[in-house]
Amino acid sequence: MATLWVVGEVGTDGSLARISAEVATLARTLAQAAGGGSEAAGIVVAADPGPVADGLAGFLPRVVAIADPAAAGHAWSTIAAERVAAVVGDDADAFVFLGAGPDGRDLAGTLAALTGRGVLVNATGAAWDGRLSVEMSAFGGKLITTSGFTGGGGIVTVRPGTVTAEPAAAAGTVERRDAGEPLALPAVAIVEQIEEAGAAAPIEEARVIVAGGRGVGGVEGFELVGELAAALGGAVGATRAAVDSGWIPYSQQIGQTGKIVKPELYLALGISGAIQHKVGMQTASTIVAVNRDPDAPIAEFADLLVVGDLFEVGRALLVALRGRSG
Amino acid sequence: MVSTPQSAQRLTDDQVLLRDTLRQLADERIAPRAADIDRSGEFPEDIRQLLAQQDVLALPFPAEHGGIGGDLLTVCLAIEQIARACTTSSLILAVQDLGSLPLRLGGSAEQLARWVPDLAAGRRLICFGLTEPEAGSDAAALRTTAVRDGDDYVLNGTKRFITNGSVAELVTVFAVTDREASRHRRLSCFIVEVPTEGFRVARVEHKMGIRGSPTAELEFRDVRVPAANRIGEEGDGWSLAMRTFERSRPGIAAQAVGIAQGALEAATAYARDRKQFGQRIGDFQMIGAMLADMDAQTEAARQLLYAACEIIEGGAPDAARWAAIAKLVAGDTAMKVTTDAVQVFGGYGYVDEFPVERMMRDAKITQLYEGTQQIQRLVIARALLGPARE
Amino acid sequence: MHIVVLTKPVPDPAAAAERLGPDLRLDRAASPAVVNGNDEYALEAALKLTEAHGGEVSLLTMAPATGADTMRKALAMGAARGVLVTDPALAGSCVRTTVEVLSAALRDLTFDLVFAGFDTSDGNAGVVAAGVAAKLGLPYLSNAAKIEPDPDGGKVRVRRITPTGYDLLEAPMPALVVCTQVLGEPRYPSLKGIMSARSKEIATRSLADLGLDAAAVGGAAATTEVLESRKPPARGATRVVRGSADEGAAEIVSFLESRRVI
């Protein structure tokens, strides 16, 4: 009988983060497969956990909402890790699931040290067949491994897009708790929060990514990339070459020295597909490339390659896409 | 990957790390500039700064004056890695080495202290002024004169094909100090600090290759040089030049090996990616055979060079023969390998979108300067046969 | 100021030869090892700070004995010394053990800051640093785009990247900071750096030196295990389309529709 805890993270608009909805859906499915009274449950730690807890309760039968005033004005992950550790306690068969973003991973590492549990990161799938097995991608996508915990429970961080979020049939209960003991770990003060215009939603979460490479040629060229991304409801990505040339910020960089993404659609414009970029996106469900060169490396692993000028094809595609929804 | 660490049997751990660091530096910072340097024909001051900053220019110089005291093999490793990416850039180090060899071989303690720190730091460049319009292969036929006048010498003459002649602050000049002396005692060697009264860069050549490297004609009209700038004694010039070549020719061999390696890698990558008739062209035997020969020849030239460096550094009596053999083999290899590389690329090899046409143009100079291939053969023949008998 | 940088030797990603051994653990002999790329960014940040504020950078690595060779390049970049924790019993260690070992080694050192790279190319975990901070009770500042220590005031300010911009964090030193690539490209080792690296000290520590029990570390004590591995499914043949731009666009649209992407 296992308990699969899901730590709810807050999205940019203050409600439940989409990754947490996905992770909760996954945990629910696993609890069902585990059977024997196993359950999935949520934990939310925040100064005011209400909104996120209510959101998470749409996906899980019960949610523990911990109000910790320290969470306001301090870095979240270490505070949340201590509170999560207290909730999970010594239950040997407890699993804790988190999103694989920066906050989730920070929490996972802290929690691992606090509880002595094992941790598996960046899961791209999970299943229950007598025990929890977690699928991960290794060596830049060359290998897919299935791993498990040697003890009973463990900590898992889950990549965006691993499952589609599906609300539960009925909303779950929210149990409010106070923070409890004072924190043992030092809380790090947030002196200021700075918003940057153009700071995009993390591209790891995007369902569709339209990416530009060296062929885009400049900042102006990326306007077309942005328009196509918008038309497809997706995010803008880039190769290192484009970022190094200053055409787009580093936060959009995909590849060995940037982000690893697994969107449903990766539309690559003017990207050769060299290995350093390939490892960042090769597990996308569908890869479409537009390139002048039919022998570019991306031809090896794209599903569809349109040989042509990326601006001409791109503009025609934009017209076609807008024409469909119009 | 074509080149593996396993070819490094003779190399120390330091040399391996140095080679790998320079390879990375060359790939990331120099290779992207190579095409532009060739097209613009401009001396790459940014690359010179980069090399100075990374202590690459300090390699040949003694440690007590701010150098690294790298041995011949180490200097050659550096030249080879840079040349893989850009021949012009490799010349910056090669000529800093060549130009300063007479000073390092025959200079007094005071002279070393005076000039080496700036050279090692890359603050000043030095060039090698031996060749003249009428004295190329026949180096003993120099006409530039240095006439003693009080505490100075007065230099008159013209030097031609001087690499870095228009950007160097120091010129190592060979001039006749005693017309009556025997052939090999006529010349002396001087370091001239420029600009100076009477010195002029008369022209800079437009060349087939190494186009970013300024090849200059230098005019000396009554240029006064302090006697304290003379390297060694009067009449030491010829022997300084010959001893210089023993160490500078391997540098050019290293350059040639680097060019060949760069061409081989470009051709191999192309043969892997390019598909015709439904398969990659590298799988066709005619292409595969070319690449195999290119690799074998490049590796042979490389291993010969490394062996020569160790032997020369060890003070072998036939150092001149080793230097000549290394340079002869490497130069011819570079020309053959780059020509074949263009062939592998087919039509694409002829256009400047790909680097091999530049590499082929760059390779040719390694058969011409630092002593033509014919001069190298003379040196080797003389070593075999002994001096010419009447 | 003394900054310790956690570094890890990993299979050279450029060699692309990483694989698992028959015991389903990373086969470290399969390809040459290099310093983990992201650790170099952390090292570079540390070097810049000690150059500006005075002080030294030390390296801390848990690795097989060959880890000393890989430390060489990091020393050549300018770190002053290295500490290598090595012991045959450590082979197959999981995150928990790695955290224990690194924390134990850090307890023997005095430092103002510990820097860690964002993640490693051979495990992508990126969670060890948070664990070490928790074990040692150090303030934990992650995702750093900028690091500004104030040695006189005994505190450090870090710009942490967030989805909407930055959080400006502040904590007393000693503290642990996880670095990102935004901090700046790592330098190439200068040649003088390479030459002097040889004479820099690499102190080795065994489990006994750290007071750790061999039974509590390594594969035997691992909290996770790889059950099986396989190659990803082949993608299938690429469809190549030539023609006018309009034809290409139409092909893309119908392809996306067939794949239910749009």
Q: Is A244 on the interface with B (CB under 8 A)?
A: no
Question: Is B14 in contact with C198 (Cβ distance < 8 A)?
Answer: yes
Predicted confidence (pLDDT) per residue in C28-78, tens digit: 777 778 888 889 999 999 999 999 999 999 999 999 998 998 898 899 999
d(CA C45, CA C183): 6
Q: Which of A113, A250, A264 sits opposite C131 (nearest CB)?
A: A113
Question: Is A257 in contact with C181 (Cβ distance < 8 A)?
Answer: yes
Q: What is the pLDDT of residue C124?
A: 61
Question: Is B17 in contact with C191 (Cβ distance < 8 A)?
Answer: no
Residues of chain A with Cβ-Cβ distance to B274 below 8 Å are 295
Which chain C residue has its CA at the smallest distance from B74's CA? C191
Within chain C, strands assigned E span 2-6, 9-11, 33-35, 56-62, 81-85, 113-116, 140-150, 155-162, 165-172, 175-179, 202-205, 224-230, 239-241
Give Cβ neighbours of residue A274 (< 8 Å, ≥ 6 apart).
A297
Does the pLDDT value for residue C235 go beyond 90? no
What band does B4 get if pLDDT is binned at 50, 70 and 90?
very low
Tell me which of A83-87, A222-226, C1-5, C15-19 is least confident: C15-19
Percent of chain C scored above 70 by pLDDT?
98
Q: What is the pLDDT of residue A51?
A: 95
Q: What is the pLDDT of residue C33?
A: 85
Residues of chain B with Cβ-Cβ distance to C195 below 8 Å are 14, 68
Q: Which of A121, A189, A299 sits opposite C171 (nearest CB)?
A: A189
Distances (CA, A) of C3 to C45, C53, C197: 10, 11, 18
d(CA A291, CA A310): 6
Q: Is C49 on the interface with A (CB under 8 A)?
A: no
Tell me which of A183-187, B297-301, B369-373, C92-96 is least confident: C92-96
Question: Is C190 in contact with B68 (Cβ distance < 8 A)?
Answer: no
Does the pLDDT value for residue B5 go beyond 90? no
Instruction: Please choose, from the candidates B160, B152, B83, B164, the residue with its C-alpha nearest in 3D space to the C-alpha of residue B124.
Output: B164
Residues of chain B with Cβ-Cβ distance to A295 below 8 Å are 273-275
Q: Is C238 on the interface with B (CB under 8 A)?
A: no
Q: Is A140 on the interface with B (CB under 8 A)?
A: no
Q: Please answer whether residues A59 and A25 qualify as being in contact, where contact means their C-beta atoms are separated by less than 8 angstroms.
A: yes
- Cα torsion through A28, A34, A37, A43, rounded to 10: -40
Q: Which residues in B have their CB inside 8 Å of a CB on A?
A: 273-275
Tell me which of B257-271, C18-32, C179-193 is least confident: C18-32
Burial C202-232 (b: 16+ CB within 10 A, else e): beebebeebebeeeebbeebbbbbbeebeee
Which chain C residue has its CA at the smallest distance from A263's CA? C261
Distances (CA, A) of B57 to B62, C32, C231: 12, 29, 47
Does the pLDDT value for residue B54 go beyond 80? yes
User: DSSP readout, B60-108?
Assistant: TS-GGGT-----HHHHHHHHHHHHHH-HHHHHHHHHHHHHHHHHHHH--
Residues of chain C with Cβ-Cβ distance to A208 below 8 Å are 261
Q: Please answer whether residues A94 and A3 qualify as being in contact, where contact means their C-beta atoms are separated by less than 8 angstroms.
A: yes
Q: Which one of A317, A321, A322, A325 makes the best mutation probe of the C interface by having the most chain C beta carbons within 10 Å?
A: A317
Q: Is C190 on the interface with B (CB under 8 A)?
A: yes
A:29-68 residues touching chain C, CB 8 A cutoff = none
User: Mind telling me how many Å the CA of A160 is from chain C's nearest CA?
Assistant: 14
Residues of chain C with Cβ-Cβ distance to B70 below 8 Å are 191
Q: Is C227 on the interface with B (CB under 8 A)?
A: no
Q: Is A12 on the interface with C (CB under 8 A)?
A: yes
Question: Is B17 in contact with C190 (Cβ distance < 8 A)?
Answer: no
CB pairs under 8 A between A and C: 277
Specify the residue for token string 């918008």.
Answer: A230
Q: Which one of A119, A158, A185 makes the best mutation probe of the C interface by having the most chain C beta carbons within 10 Å?
A: A119
In one-letter notation, the amino acid at residue C103 is: S
Q: Which of C14, C76, C192 sits opposite B17 (nearest CB)?
A: C76
Q: Is C17 on the interface with A (CB under 8 A)?
A: no
In whole numbers, what is the pLDDT of chain B averaged over residues? Answer: 94
Which chain B residue has its CA at the smallest distance from C191's CA? B55
Residues of chain A with Cβ-Cβ distance to C157 below 8 Å are 191
Catalytic residue among B80, B234, B265, B370: B370
Question: Is B59 in contact with C73 (Cβ distance < 8 A)?
Answer: no
Which chain A residue has its CA at the smallest distance from C135's CA? A113
> What is the rounded end-to-end Cα distance, in angstroms, of chain B?
54
Give Cβ neighbours of residue B71 (< 8 Å, ≥ 6 apart).
B309, B313
Residues of chain A with Cβ-Cβ distance to B273 below 8 Å are 295, 297
Is B370 a catalytic site residue? yes
What band does B1 get if pLDDT is binned at 50, 70 and 90?
very low
Q: Is B163 left (phi over 0), alpha (psi -120 to 50) or beta?
A: beta
What band does B3 get if pLDDT is binned at 50, 70 and 90?
very low
> Three-state SS across C214-238?
HHHCCHHHCCEEEEEEECCCCCCCC
Q: Is C32 on the interface with B (CB under 8 A)?
A: yes
Q: Which one of A134, A304, A321 makes the best mutation probe of the C interface by having the most chain C beta carbons within 10 Å?
A: A304
Question: Is A150 in contact with C143 (Cβ distance < 8 A)?
Answer: no
What band does B6 get if pLDDT is binned at 50, 70 and 90?
very low
A:289-308 residues touching chain B, CB 8 A cutoff = 295, 297
d(CA B148, CA B155): 9
Neighbours of C117 (CB within 10 A): 27
What band does B143 get if pLDDT is binned at 50, 70 and 90?
very high
Predicted confidence (pLDDT) per residue in B263-293, tens digit: 999 999 999 878 888 888 999 999 999 999 9
Give Cβ neighbours of residue B32 (< 8 Å, ≥ 6 apart).
none
Residues of chain B with Cβ-Cβ distance to A297 below 8 Å are 273
Question: Is B21 in contact with C15 (Cβ distance < 8 A)?
Answer: no
Using CB atoms within 10 Å of the CB of residue C89, give its burial: 0 to 12 exposed, 13 to 18 middle, 19+ buried. buried
Question: Is B275 in contact with A297 (Cβ distance < 8 A)?
Answer: no
Question: Is C164 in contact with A118 (Cβ distance < 8 A)?
Answer: no
Question: Is C18 in contact with A195 (Cβ distance < 8 A)?
Answer: no
Q: What is the pLDDT of residue B390?
A: 61
Q: Which one of B27, B49, B55, B74 makes the best mutation probe of the C interface by having the most chain C beta carbons within 10 Å?
A: B55
Predicted confidence (pLDDT) per residue in C99-136, tens digit: 999 999 999 999 999 999 988 877 767 899 999 999 99
Using CB atoms within 10 Å of the CB of residue B292, give its burial: 0 to 12 exposed, 13 to 18 middle, 19+ buried. exposed
Q: What is the pLDDT along chain A (326 residues), one digit of tens a residue?
A: 889 999 999 988 889 999 999 999 999 999 999 998 999 999 999 999 999 999 999 999 999 999 999 999 999 999 999 999 999 998 888 999 999 988 999 999 999 999 999 999 999 999 998 899 999 988 777 789 999 999 879 999 999 888 999 999 999 999 999 988 999 999 999 999 988 765 556 788 888 999 999 999 999 999 999 999 999 989 999 998 898 888 988 889 998 778 888 899 999 999 998 878 888 898 898 999 999 988 888 988 999 999 999 999 999 999 999 888 65
Residues of chain C with Cβ-Cβ distance to A151 below 8 Å are 223
How many CA atoms are closer than 13 Å to the CA of C237, on its beta-carbon side? Answer: 3
Does the pLDDT value for residue B333 go beyond 70? yes
Give the tokens for residue A37: 């009274």
Q: What is the pLDDT of residue C142?
A: 96
User: Mind telling me how many Å the CA of B22 is from chain C's nearest CA?
Assistant: 9
Burial B108-126 (b: 16+ CB within 10 A, else e): eeebbebbbbbbbbbebbb
pLDDT average, residue stretch B98-103? 98
pLDDT average, residue stretch C213-238? 88
C:151-210 residues touching chain A, CB 8 A cutoff = 157, 159-172, 181-182
Question: Is B274 in contact with A297 (Cβ distance < 8 A)?
Answer: no
Does the pLDDT value for residue B104 go beyond 90? yes
Give Cβ neighbours of residue A172 (< 8 Å, ≥ 6 apart).
A42, A56, A57, A58, A59, A60, A61, A62, A63
Chains that touch B (3 or more CB pairs under 8 A): A, C
pLDDT average, residue stretch B298-304? 97
User: Mind telling me how many Å the CA of C199 is from chain A's nearest CA?
Assistant: 32
Predicted confidence (pLDDT) per residue in A60-107, tens digit: 999 999 999 999 999 999 999 999 999 999 888 899 999 998 899 999
Question: Is C73 in contact with B17 (Cβ distance < 8 A)?
Answer: yes
